[in-house]
Structure 1
């Protein structure tokens, strides 16, 4: 998903302006025990690669300050806004005996009050999502973002209509939500929201690694009964988790490919079913069972898919490296260097998005 734009970015920008104003008082860095920091129940992002982050902390000795808010009902306790992985990595180091205390630098936020249109909970949700903008997200994390932001976006849309703001898709909420808030196309938004049609077992099966996301999107167009039956087949080994298994008929509506369209049928038949263009390129080796092709065509498609995946992984490493350099520069209060690394990170992330 692209970096956010429009009204959401404006809200986050306002928060950052408040940060600058309150830097000497509300934004003092405090050392807080990780055990006194409570994970935020509104944070739906997965915690991944904790051990790698712990190793990086050990080598560099650097920890980017977490963002927290004091809990009104529990003095001395704080709720996380940003830094779930950092907290988990610090606790991991403590469990491994690498450190004696899990004390972490934190910024205690005091500016998460509501606005005329939005509640304090809305502002908190926006900050959590904004803090995770850099991440490589799963399909369900993208869906959770959309579900969380949808009611917030509607409030902002109603305000925009009331004051008749120009260029804000005032006659079409879906276009406004997609373009102005999430920074994606309406068809990409539609593709993400299709995942709301999935039965709960589909999410579990995906998280268990039983199917790729191309299969997940295909399954979203099936009835609950078809989904449940197919997933049961995955569990028993009857189904292998391929797009070809799920396909029964033409799926309706418009959808944008979330993965690269390397369909073997396209090699031989340029006018092939566009539905299959959304299939996962890594599944190319499975498709000849449905549409036989020469070994040369199969090898070329597979090689191209692997090449693009290699580029994607390289760009992701650049994103992570730039994010680390940016945080290091921030820690040194070198704003110019931090801004430069942020631009590099954004450029690499945009290149990844262009391949999606």
Structure 2
């Protein structure tokens, strides 16, 4: 049975004798409509009925705001040429009107043609279904759109949230068999992995990130990565991929440090090894902490310290969101080395403190002796270089103003240093020439490496140089000579 908007049976009317065969606007025919009934849906057990409804009585469904209508130009051109070959699906609404369930893009295209004066679209073929439940109606609307065209990431997210909400409510009413996720997959065609990501984005992402996804400013993958972060990190990561966390305000840090030293870490710090004979930098082994978690309240704010400290160098303290203890709004890393040094003032024994002071005095004496030895060595090198003009002359190019002299080293090799006589400096400390050339030779006159005196096919120190680069080589030679002399004794 095919009814028009006034409830008249069109098929019966067409079969009446002596009447002109009913013809519809170009692009529509009863045969076409009947042939397309299988493309429309109706609740199980209800007969499929296609009726012609005035276009003005068909209202867009507010629930369809999940989807974007987009450009219907090509669809409109196709309908103008071939007619509306698939009926719209509608449900009864208030005031004798009808609410669209499926076919919003087709309805928009027809509405544009009708508004342009095309009378063929005064009436549109529709299938009327009455679900009797807003959630069932919403599920039908989403099902008709889910696989009809390629959706944007924003549409997929809105569709998921709306469909999950409707199915969850229907499940509670006993109208859905099986698991909600299985029903979501069946109706949307999405895989379990994609549904899990959609659920994470829906549940964890803040509105700003969801808005970026809907506007196409970030990818679906970036939004999913944001869902793994704390809320305060999400916008920055969404925009630039940088996972940043605000630092706890300075006003709280002093109180937190005091809490760590005198309360939270006290059991560990009291028994730590503060003796001077332990490795000074091995504070991780001195403070025996592996897994640890403590919380405290400071000026109305909650803070949590803890973590697994095996291989870590600092303890992270997090400031918790007052409205959601699972959320972190700021954090600060307190170095265990710093905490250890501060704890020494509180928990170090008198015996260890006395031993440490003695060790400090010993270290101080050793440093002073080393500094004096280094100063003496530098003076010796300066004297050697300052006496360059008295070194043995091995070559002289008077026309070029170049002179070459050699200095014997303790291992039997010797430096040959050439200088530009015009670069001589008065009052100069060390080599009295600014521009020089040097090379190192063994006892047989073969070129060797300037660093260690070993034979080398390559020598990078064969150019004229400016500056006192010879100092380090001579210091090394003197140290080796003294070390050998000490061994010989």
TMscore range, shorter length: 0.3 to 0.5
Query: Of Structure 1 and Structure 2, which has the larger fraction of its residues in helix?
Result: 1
Query: Of Structure 1 and Structure 2, which has the larger fraction of its residues in strand?
Result: 2
* TM, length-normalised to structure 2: 0.36
* TM, length-normalised to structure 1: 0.47
Higher relative contact order (CA 8 A, sep 6+): 1
